[in-house]
């Protein structure tokens, strides 16, 4: 090959590499990494992307060069020269991809092993998924509708489901795990930034799938210890409001007294009107709607979207919640 041709090939390769590198680098393909596992996963993405850019640039350069240099001239009706392959070339283009794919699989295997290692003293949280809500139970037996964790501590989740398949996912933490009835699946997360991220159900699980969201609050250790001992309840706070927040009712419902603006379920500020439509006494109606939401479904809403909370809220907490809702309903 002449020197000038080689220079042309290299220039074409550099142009292809520059364009694809720009697309990889400047487009925000991945969410900001918020945990150790996410950092490792992002490393695998970049490791693979760099290899892909290299392969693409070589192929694009040779292809473009060939199209320009060896294209048929307008007056050329002859067949091309017969080509019988090139053993050396075939060995090279088999060996290089083999090495690259092997390297990717080794890096991936190491990262997967590291990402499922919880260490000696993880914070253990039990996660139960059901249509269409998440529940998180801490070592002290308290259950919440959202997660709270200390920063830089490894958390081991024990994930299961009550009804159908669901899947736990926090995009910024990069870890995903299916929630399966009768199985206890493990997932390790180690958040490294004080922040709040969405928890998303990422397995189509029914009508309310897209609404099956919660949040994970990552706090400093001091804030977390305080939250853990008080359950997030503030001194002097209405116990019913505390329960309302604990189970994340505001994620779906509007209720002014709780500063909640959820739009998924019925507006709880109109509870009196709704109880009258259902022809039930207010407190009985509220209690029934929490324990067995499908007993009466407000017109315009679908049954089966709200999970039944029967047996999931401590009796005195349920009493406080019913009282809080009844007293503050319009």
Q: How far is the CB of 159 from ligand CUA (least distance, A)?
A: 12
The encoded tokens of residue 271 equal 């509870």
- Interface pick for ligand CUA out of 36, 144, 155, 166 (rule CB under 6 A): 166
Say which residues have a Cβ less than 8 Å from residue 292's Cβ, sequence separation at least 6: 308, 310
CA-closest candidate to residue 111, choices 48, 192, 41, 33: 41
What is the C-alpha separation between 241 and 271, in angstroms, rounded? 16
- Cis amide linkage into residue 287, ω under 30° from 0: no
Does 209 help bind ligand CUA (rule: CB under 6 A)? Answer: yes
Does 203 help bind ligand CUA (rule: CB under 6 A)? Answer: yes
Site residues for ligand CUA, window 116-155 (CB under 6 A)?
A: 129, 132
Q: How far is the CB of 311 from ligand CUA (least distance, A)?
A: 20
Phi, psi of 318, rounded to the nearest 5 degrees: -65, -45
Site residues for ligand CUA, window 44-103 (CB under 6 A)?
A: none
CA-closest candidate to residue 292, choices 272, 313, 277: 313
By beta-carbon proximity to ligand CUA, the closer residue of 133 and 329 is 133
Q: How many residues bind ligand CUA (CB under 6 A)?
A: 9
Instruction: Indicate the SS3 state at residue 136.
Output: strand
**Torsion sign (Cα): 89, 98, 5, 56:** positive
Q: How far is the CB of 132 from ligand CUA (least distance, A)?
A: 6
Does 212 help bind ligand CUA (rule: CB under 6 A)? Answer: yes
Q: Following CA atoms 301, 294, 160, 321 in sequence, which dihedral angle do they give, to the nearest 10 degrees?
A: 90
Does 213 help bind ligand CUA (rule: CB under 6 A)? Answer: no
By beta-carbon proximity to ligand CUA, the closer residue of 134 and 228 is 134
CA-closest candidate to residue 213, choices 229, 199, 196: 199
- Interface pick for ligand CUA out of 118, 159, 173, 201 (rule CB under 6 A): 201
By beta-carbon proximity to ligand CUA, the closer residue of 41 and 205 is 205
- Interface pick for ligand CUA out of 205, 219, 290, 326 (rule CB under 6 A): 205
Select from 51-59, 139-147, 201-209, 245-253 the region that touches ligand CUA (CB under 6 A).
201-209
Select from 202-210, 242-250, 295-303, 316-324 the region that touches ligand CUA (CB under 6 A).
202-210
CB 238 within 8 A of CB 250: no
Q: What residues make contact with ligand CUA under the rule CB under 6 A? A: 129, 132, 166, 201, 203-205, 209, 212
């Amino acid at each position: 090959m002449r020197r000038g041709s080689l220079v042309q090939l290299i220039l074409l390769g550099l142009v292809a590499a520059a364009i694809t590198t720009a697309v990889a680098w400047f487009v925000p393909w991945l969410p900001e990494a918020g945990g150790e596992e996410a950092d490792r996963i992002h490393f695998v993405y970049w490791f693979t992307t760099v290899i892909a850019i290299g392969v693409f640039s070589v192929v694009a350069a040779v292809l473009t060069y060939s199209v320009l240099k060896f294209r048929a001239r307008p007056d050329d009706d002859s067949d091309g020269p017969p080509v019988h392959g090139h053993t050396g070339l075939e060995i090279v283009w088999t060996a290089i991809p083999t090495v690259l794919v092997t390297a990717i699989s080794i890096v991936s295997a190491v990262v997967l092993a590291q990402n499922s290692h919880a260490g000696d003293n993880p914070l253990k949280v039990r996660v139960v998924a059901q249509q269409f809500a998440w529940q998180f139970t801490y070592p002290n037996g308290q259950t919440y509708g959202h997660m709270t964790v200390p920063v830089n501590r490894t958390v081991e989740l024990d994930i299961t489901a009550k009804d159908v398949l669901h899947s736990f996912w926090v995009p910024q933490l990069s870890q995903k795990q299916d929630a399966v009835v009768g199985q206890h699946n493990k997932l390790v997360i180690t958040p490294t930034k004080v922040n709040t991220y969405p928890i998303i159900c990422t397995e189509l699980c029914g009508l309310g799938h897209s609404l099956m969201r919660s949040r994970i609050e990552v706090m400093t250790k001091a804030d977390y210890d305080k939250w853990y001992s008080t359950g997030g309840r503030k001194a002097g706070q209405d116990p019913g409001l505390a329960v309302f927040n604990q189970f994340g009712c505001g994620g779906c419902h509007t209720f002014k007294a709780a500063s909640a603006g959820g739009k998924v379920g019925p507006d709880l500020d109109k509870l009196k009107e709704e109880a009258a439509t259902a022809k039930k006494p207010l407190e009985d109606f509220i209690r029934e709607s929490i324990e067995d939401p499908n007993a009466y479904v407000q017109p315009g809403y679908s049954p089966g979207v709200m999970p039944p909370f029967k047996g999931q809220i401590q009796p005195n907490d349920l009493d406080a919640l019913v009282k809080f809702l009844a007293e503050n309903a319009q």
